[in-house]
Structure 1
Amino acid sequence: MKFELILYHVIVDDISNEICKSADLAECVRQLHSDLEFREAAENVSREFCELVESLNTNTALYQKLKSSEITESSRLDDVDRRTLALLLDDFEQSGVHLKDEQKAKFVQLSSEVFNSGARFQENCDRIVSVGKFDQAKYGLPSQIYSPVSNSVDQSKRKMVYNTFYRHDDQQEKYLQKLISSRHQLAQLTGFESFAHRAQRNSLLEDYDNVKTFLWGVVEKCRNSFEKELAVLIDISAQCNQYNIDSSKQAATIADHDLGFLMHLYREKAYDIAKVSRESSQFFTFSSILNGFSTLSQRLYGVQLVEEPLVSGEMWNTAGVLKLKAVDEQMNELGVIYVDVSIRPEKAVGDCHYTVRCSKYLSDATWQMPILVLSLGLVDGHSHMWRDSGISFHSAETMFHELGHAMHSILGRTKYQHVAGTRCPQDFSEIPSNLMEYFISDLGVMTSIIRRSDRPSDQLSVEAAATLLASRHSFTAIETVQQAAYGLYDLEVHGPIAAPQIATGRMTTTELFYDIMSKAMPHVQRSPDSAFQHRFHHTVQYGAKYYSYLVARASACLIWQNRFLDEPFSRKWGDCWAEVQSHGGGHHPAVLLKKILGFRPTEKELTIALSKESQHLANLDAITV
């Protein structure tokens, strides 16, 4: 490629690519490295890159050259060029490139404050809680609590563990207050009413009001199914002599600390899940699930995952880590995936996917190979049998979800790294991963691709598979409404009303969370001092876009129902879906969905998809405990 032929947006994408190859690697090291000194060094590097990017995004000369190229280079641009150029310009504009110099400096400062407060908040999301000697003796507890879950038959113990783990924490509130305040100021500085308004740019639902309507629509449309499922739990609670009647509303209620216990009890009794788990344990290992996913992707797209040996020095810790090469049917390499499945306390966040390097068409007419890292807390990586360690069906589902993200990055081979793979609006980037959950949750698919690693000819019985699926998808409506409520909290904490009140100390995030949960799930009692949101990592990662999970799930549901339900291994629709993913963020999400569905789903159609799914799965039988 001759220099005089290079377009301005190509130059900017090249700059972005060089920065991201280092910045994204630093972020991965910051979150996953086993050595504290490396994590701290990586955090400093990440902070500096954050400031560098924002300083470039406020560079007027760079912006004006890019802006003028819309006209001067228009005859040389195709649709992907135009969208990439528009997205790059939007990044500049959202960063306040039009502001005066002192305001630009303020923007960079606020961006740094967002990074710092977010990092501190995330560090403390998984903090261990100390238990006093009195409570240790009274409830038979250890000196520290690592989880809010207690399956004790003693309701008071469950309440104590849950409320202690989620107790309002003043330091976390300060970090959140700083994060929300900085984001709100940043949004208003760049002309937005709130950060929640700013975050919806280029998304499928497009604006704050549509997102709010969608989420409350999900709550209302799923309410009947939600109440059916809740009635089953209330019946179990009554049998355990633990029910409570709210005399003012004459309606049975359940405490939030009892929800998990009662669901667990139902699954044990209704499905004998312990027995089924034992029967299926040889089929649900890390190796068997990985092999199953590779089989599925090969049948759908002609892409398989082949293990490659780790080279000395390639990883800082090889315990529970393997390297996979994605290849097509001609054995052409498409990308590399590192999978870290070891349980380590040093991992900063839960199961996730890092794009260390994106795909991109290079000036020497070759493709930059994408590099992905999947972090999953599944096994003891130091065990010599870690590959064949048993995992739960839920963990298998999570593996498929994260591998779905990785495959999106592998297939998303675009000219520009700025729109490659998962570099697209959040509500679309979650669709491929959610669709993979539908595949693993299909009876025919599960029994076909999940085989014992030591005896590949053995198949999981249809009865065991059906029981696992019925158990996993019981209480789907409760889960859906709960996720919608979390999405509403994440939206409103960044919204025009709550954000300024939180920033000035007139409202706490705990008060906001309590208010939203009480409205969305009125028959679930909770302590006003319970602060689930103080452990909610996604406030940092998603920032007013946590709802994207539900939009993506609804979209994946429509794709599954319309294209794969009757023929899950269809190569025709598999190739079509691979082609859709190949565009990354090169087209608007609605355009990409139309390519696979034949229509652009509306907010109402997405809501109905989730509602119908919850209605279908909400018919649970009563049980005797």
Structure 2
Amino acid sequence: MLASAARNVLVVRRSRKLFQARGSLSVQRSAFRYRSTFSPTPTIPASADDKALITLFDEPSNKPSSFSWSHTGLFGHPSLTHPRALISLTNATLIRAQKLTDRILHARESRDELLKVVKNLDRLSDLLCGVIDLSELVRNAHPDRVWVDAANHAYEALCEFMNVLNTHVGLYEVLKAVFTDKSIFDSLSPEARQTALIFWRDFEKSAINLPPKQREKFVSLSSEILVLGREFQRGAIAPRPPVSIKPEELSGLKDQGMGVRLQLQARFTKRDLLIYPGSLQAQMIMRAAPDEEPRRRVYAATHSSTSEQIQVLETMLQKRAELSQLVGSKSFAHLTLDDKMAKSPGKLQNVNHFLDALMNHTAPAVKDALRALSLKKQEHLRTTNVPIIQAWDRDFYCPPEPPTPPISLPPLTLGTVFMALSRLFRHLYGVNLRPAHASPGEVWHTDIQKLEVVDEKQGVIGWIYADLFARRGKPGGAAHYTVRCSRRTDDDYESGDRLEDLPDLNNNIKDSIEFEAVKRHQLPGQDGVYQLPLVVLLCEFARPSISRGATVLQWHEVNTLFHEMGHAMHSMIGRTEYQNVAGTRCATDFVEFPSILMEHFLNSPMVLSLFDPDSTFSTPQSPNHHIDPCHAIDTYQQILLAALDQMYHSPAVLHNDFDSTTEYAKLQNTRGMIPYVNGTSFQTQFGHLFGYGATYYSYLLDRAIASRVWGNVFSEDPLSRTLGERYKDQVLRFGGGRDPWKMVSAILSSPELESGDAEAMRVVGRWRIEDELGLPGRH
């Protein structure tokens, strides 16, 4: 999480190593604003399945809270009934993966095998990811320590094997043979070519063309960066030292309750107050202390760093730059952006074109907001001159407010929100959510609810396991875990793996064979057999109880759920033949677009009418046009951080005089709207510099695209099946198997965007500001 001064949105980063496991998608959100009114439009009545969701999530469970092992395995896998089975599955998977690797290495002996190389590389990746992704979920969510230890072992063992594959020269040479044989490459489908290109880029990013000593250097640098990154992230969330505040400095505090308590505490102890950054007391002072000095000191303490923390960050940045130049890239940003929407030619320049346009179009609104705050400060201080707004003034003159719905709504229970989501998906895609029975042992806690995703023509197309309630030991925040991706399986030609050559075949790999068999299904009306997607949603909502009743969500939690379900539906509908491009396995700077677009649907009273199970017509209401006057300030600050991320990952970090604090201050003072505060070094708390290095702009880009698609496609008719099918067919179903710019161009009917060049990035940078400020009209 970022400090309150930035109020940024946590962006998802999707690592694209060749055989990297799929991680979780985690986000934090703020509400968007509704701008238009709609005429009444008939809606499809809530079905029995829709209404059953209310009962499922809102009625307190009578099941015991304790967890016990059973004879039914996790996610329906018969063998996974106890932790030892996960170890056995890992060993069996490694044996099968080695056999498949050997098959690929001998592919040049046969043209028929060369034709299968891309498919077999994807199979190999899926074979490993299938267990790693499950283990990743278990080690983060399972309450039983024995299961967590087994999952950690599985994760580490399989990732170690992946690391070997990522730098395997033999595999690279085989793939090169596919690329250089024109007749073979031309025979591949567009999706297969995209998958092959992903493998190719991943190999080249892993120093595959370098001599052995330089490859060893690459591995060494990669390990150093990982260690430094973990140390940096620990420092980013480490407590900062307290600041001393005199009791008299809190006189006139707006929050009389806490202010009086603090003053009484000071008198009783007969000493100054020690205020810890991030505490409730610190937040209260920033929002309510009339005296500017305690706010300044609390701000400075909150944004402080030790010299060791700064050194860790700068060393990490320099090691990244060294690694990038080792493999022939100008900088880490150039290396990272190669397969993103900000693609070559241009790369780093394209991102800067986007950010520059976004800054220029946001700046007027920021100036207006700051002018209004300056007038408030002038009135408060009773000065003749209009004072400058400093960083510690923001929360005092414009206290943050929780997001609210665009129209008046009754309290929304968790079950009601799921019902509305199901109804929305039925309108848009002909898909709904249906409660499903989870057998004993299938889930890791009694809180988890299993949902089937049901297509009106094909039946069940995937599953969502909802782990939504807070409990001790469970990670905080909201996350979407892709435990299983879509993949076509009937053309695997497994006979070529020569598993029959293994001694004691049944005992060695039977766990893996059974594990894979559970994942395969043939849908009505669809050619082939597919691996159906399975995702897990993790949230930390309050649990319903008999005394308190159903869980009632705050508006930001409703936004969270809509956002996460946007990821889930991307996984469900992104039906591809290759798992490396399935659903959310797409470019980092495109992956958030479907989930952010889902939040926009909450702007519409027509959609909000779906929260009423008895409603069959939307009821137009006057929207709430309240706009946070400081929203533009926070957005601009996020743009600055994206620019800082690009600068920190440019060649400049290798200069002898590089100083991360100086560069941050220079950016804030030259392009920022609020002056830099001397002595502060916020960059050590910008934790996303590790996980999202050179891609922090992604969420801004996806916000811009989602805004445009909402305004130009869905805003006037958000329940249109025609529009939903168009979006499904032109965007969701491709996953990462198509160039994102082609998808954006198609859904917006804007062929000029298809190339994704520098001008396209500038154009997108000019989109966001109009919608962000709630200006009327479609664009």
User: TM-score normalised to the size of structure 1?
Assistant: 0.84
Instruction: Specify the alignment match of 1:605 in structure 2.
Output: 763
Return the match for 2:177 from 43, 64, 68: 68
1:332 aligns with 2:493: no
The change in CA–CA distance for 1:532 and 1:436 in structure 2 (over 3 A counts) is farther
Shift of 1:174: 4.3
Shift of 1:130: 5.8
Instruction: Specify the alignment match of 1:256 in structure 2.
Output: 391
Q: Distance in 1 between matches of 2:312 and 2:557?
A: 31
Shift of 1:15: 0.8
Q: Distance in 1 between matches of 2:170 and 2:563?
A: 42
Return the match for 1:450 from 611, 627, 631: 611
Amino acid in the other structure paired with 1:188? Q
- Contact kept, 8 Å, 1:50 with 1:111, in 2: the verdict is no
Instruction: Specify the alignment match of 1:89 in structure 2.
Output: 200
Who wins on radius of gyration, i.e. which is larger? 2
- Contact kept, 8 Å, 2:476 with 2:539, in 1: the verdict is no
Amino acid in the other structure paired with 2:740? P
Question: Map of 1:125-144 to 2, 5 A cutoff?
Answer: 125-129=236-240, 131=242, 137=266
Q: Distance in 2 between matches of 1:134 and 1:409?
A: 51
Instruction: Specify the alignment match of 1:12 in structure 2.
Output: 121
Amino acid in the other structure paired with 2:168? N
Shift of 1:55: 2.5
Query: Deviation per CA, 1:38-77, whole angstroms, max 9, x where unpaired?
Result: 7687667655555533331221111111111121523531
Query: Deviation per CA, 1:213-265, whole angstroms, max 9, x where unpaired?
Result: 211221112111111122223333334339996xxxxx742222332343337
Instruction: Specify the alignment match of 1:231 in structure 2.
Output: 371
The change in CA–CA distance for 1:75 and 1:458 in structure 2 (over 3 A counts) is closer
Q: Distance in 2 between matches of 1:242 and 1:24?
A: 60
Shift of 1:424: 1.0
- Contact kept, 8 Å, 2:277 with 2:302, in 1: the verdict is no
Q: Distance in 2 between matches of 1:181 and 1:34?
A: 39
Higher alpha-carbon deviation: 232-241 or 543-552:
232-241
Q: Distance in 1 between matches of 2:152 and 2:333?
A: 26
1:542 aligns with 2:692: yes
- Contact kept, 8 Å, 1:84 with 1:418, in 2: the verdict is yes
Higher RCO, 1 or 2 (CA under 8 Å, sep at least 6)? 2
Q: Secondary structure at the residue paired with 1:88? A: helix
- Contact kept, 8 Å, 2:533 with 2:571, in 1: the verdict is yes
Shift of 1:190: 1.2
Return the match for 2:539 from 360, 368, 376: 376
5+ residue gaps in structure 2? 1-102, 247-261, 492-527, 754-759
Q: Distance in 2 between matches of 1:244 and 1:419?
A: 62
Please tell me the root mean square deviation across aligned C-alpha atoms, in Å. Answer: 3.6
5+ residue gaps in structure 1? 246-250, 619-625
Higher alpha-carbon deviation: 488-497 or 336-345:
336-345
The change in CA–CA distance for 1:233 and 1:461 in structure 2 (over 3 A counts) is farther
Instruction: Specify the alignment match of 1:362 in structure 2.
Output: 489
Shift of 1:589: 0.9
The change in CA–CA distance for 1:613 and 1:94 in structure 2 (over 3 A counts) is same
Q: Secondary structure at the residue paired with 2:338? A: coil
Q: Distance in 1 between matches of 2:197 and 2:749?
A: 26
Percent identity between the two aligned chains: 29
Q: Distance in 2 between matches of 1:514 and 1:586?
A: 41
Q: Distance in 1 between matches of 2:190 and 2:461?
A: 24
Q: Secondary structure at the residue paired with 1:586? A: coil
Q: Secondary structure at the residue paired with 1:356? A: strand
Q: Distance in 2 between matches of 1:460 and 1:40?
A: 53
The change in CA–CA distance for 1:385 and 1:473 in structure 2 (over 3 A counts) is farther
Q: Secondary structure at the residue paired with 2:388? A: strand
Q: Secondary structure at the residue paired with 2:207? A: coil
Shift of 1:606: 0.5
Question: Map of 1:106-117 to 2, 5 A cutoff?
Answer: 106-117=217-228
Question: Map of 1:448-597 to 2, 5 A cutoff?
Answer: 448-451=609-612, 462-463=621-622, 466-467=623-624, 470-471=625-626, 474-497=629-652, 499-501=653-655, 506-522=657-673, 524-579=674-729, 580-597=731-748
Shift of 1:202: 2.4
How many correspondences in the alignment? 592
Return the match for 2:324 from 187, 196, 200: 187
Whose helix proportion is higher, 1 or 2? 1
Instruction: Specify the alignment match of 2:424 in structure 1.
Output: 296
Query: Deviation per CA, 1:124-166, whole angstroms, max 9, x where unpaired?
Result: 5444456478777478677784476333344544444443333
Shift of 1:98: 0.5
The change in CA–CA distance for 1:617 and 1:143 in structure 2 (over 3 A counts) is same
Shift of 1:36: 7.6
The change in CA–CA distance for 1:305 and 1:33 in structure 2 (over 3 A counts) is same
1:397 aligns with 2:555: no
The change in CA–CA distance for 1:346 and 1:308 in structure 2 (over 3 A counts) is same
The change in CA–CA distance for 1:212 and 1:445 in structure 2 (over 3 A counts) is same
The change in CA–CA distance for 1:77 and 1:545 in structure 2 (over 3 A counts) is same
Q: Distance in 1 between matches of 2:714 and 2:120?
A: 41
Amino acid in the other structure paired with 1:258? D
Shift of 1:81: 1.5
Question: Map of 1:119-198 to 2, 5 A cutoff?
Answer: 119-129=230-240, 131=242, 137=266, 145-146=278-279, 149-150=283-284, 151-154=287-290, 155-198=292-335
The change in CA–CA distance for 1:443 and 1:398 in structure 2 (over 3 A counts) is same
- Contact kept, 8 Å, 1:54 with 1:95, in 2: the verdict is no
- Contact kept, 8 Å, 1:133 with 1:143, in 2: the verdict is no
Q: Secondary structure at the residue paired with 1:551? A: helix
Question: Map of 1:424-435 to 2, 5 A cutoff?
Answer: 424-435=586-597
Q: Distance in 2 between matches of 1:178 and 1:35?
A: 38
Q: Distance in 1 between matches of 2:551 and 2:536?
A: 21
- Contact kept, 8 Å, 1:423 with 1:429, in 2: the verdict is yes
Instruction: Specify the alignment match of 1:283 in structure 2.
Output: 411
Q: Distance in 2 between matches of 1:91 and 1:244?
A: 61
1:438 aligns with 2:600: yes
Q: Distance in 1 between matches of 2:533 and 2:116?
A: 23
Shift of 1:551: 1.2
Shift of 1:278: 13
Q: Distance in 2 between matches of 1:534 and 1:385?
A: 44
Amino acid in the other structure paired with 1:255? Q
- Contact kept, 8 Å, 2:606 with 2:620, in 1: the verdict is no
Higher alpha-carbon deviation: 49-58 or 407-416:
49-58
Q: Distance in 2 between matches of 1:432 and 1:326?
A: 17
- Contact kept, 8 Å, 1:214 with 1:603, in 2: the verdict is yes
Q: Secondary structure at the residue paired with 1:240? A: helix
Q: Distance in 2 between matches of 1:21 and 1:323?
A: 19
The change in CA–CA distance for 1:412 and 1:290 in structure 2 (over 3 A counts) is same
Query: Deviation per CA, 1:268-288, whole angstroms, max 9, x where unpaired?
Result: 9xxxx99x99974x4333333
Q: Secondary structure at the residue paired with 1:353? A: strand
- Contact kept, 8 Å, 1:243 with 1:253, in 2: the verdict is no
The change in CA–CA distance for 1:189 and 1:311 in structure 2 (over 3 A counts) is farther
The change in CA–CA distance for 1:144 and 1:194 in structure 2 (over 3 A counts) is closer
Higher alpha-carbon deviation: 476-485 or 403-412:
476-485
Q: Secondary structure at the residue paired with 2:452? A: strand
- Contact kept, 8 Å, 1:50 with 1:112, in 2: the verdict is no
